[in-house]
Amino acid sequence: MKVRTQLLTSALCLTSALAMAHSDGMDDENFRQPGNPLEINRTVKVEMLDSMRFSPGKLQVKNGDTVLFVIHNAGALKHEFVLGTGKALKAHNEFMKQNPDMEHDDDSMVSVAPGDTAEIIWKFSRSGLLHFACLQPGHYAAGMKGSVSVSAPAGKRPAGKH
């Protein structure tokens, strides 16, 4: 019964955050692509710190990469890793202020207890800048966020140049 309730609240949380993100025309759907474990071609380790930082805070991947994120909570507090566009994360963070006890369990986000390690598999299918953040109350505002720069695949030149 507890599991069912948690699933329901996390689904509601996500839906509301996305609805808010969509209301300003931002397109989050293209980034929401969980990866196939058989296609992992990179592993990226990220540490969560009680200094309200991710280490490293800036990541670089290539468009087409399927990345296994290994996320370790090195602190004594609970932290989260939530991947998304900047606007979706901001909207989600606002929602969390009203619902601080919300649990997250979705392909693009994970809560990690102190000392634990969690994994997310993500396929990057568009170049551009993505963001990640911890949405535990106060953490995002304290700077617990980072970015993933998704570059064009190797060998592909920008349009219009020869």
Angle between helices 86-98 and 2-23 (to 10 degrees): 130
Between CA 86 and CA 131 the distance in angstroms is 6
Nearer to Cu ion, 79 or 131 (CB): 79
Nearer to Cu ion, 14 or 96 (CB): 96
Nearer to Cu ion, 109 or 144 (CB): 144
134 forms part of the interface with Cu ion (CB under 5 A): yes
From 7-15, 29-37, 78-86, 121-129, give the range in contact with Cu ion by CB under 5 A: 78-86
CB of 134 to Cu ion, least distance (A): 3
Binding mask 140-159 for Cu ion (x = CB under 5 A): ----x---------------
For residue 115, which of 50, 42, 44 has the smallest C-alpha distance?
A: 50
Residue 146's φ and ψ, nearest 5 degrees, are -155, 180
79 forms part of the interface with Cu ion (CB under 5 A): yes
139 forms part of the interface with Cu ion (CB under 5 A): yes
- How many helices (DSSP H) and strands (DSSP E) are in the chain? 2, 10
Between CA 16 and CA 10 the distance in angstroms is 10
Ramachandran assignment for 150, one of left (phi > 0), alpha (psi -120 to 50 degrees), beta (any other): beta
CB of 99 to Cu ion, least distance (A): 16
104 forms part of the interface with Cu ion (CB under 5 A): no
Contact positions vs Cu ion (CB under 5 A): 79, 134, 136, 139, 144
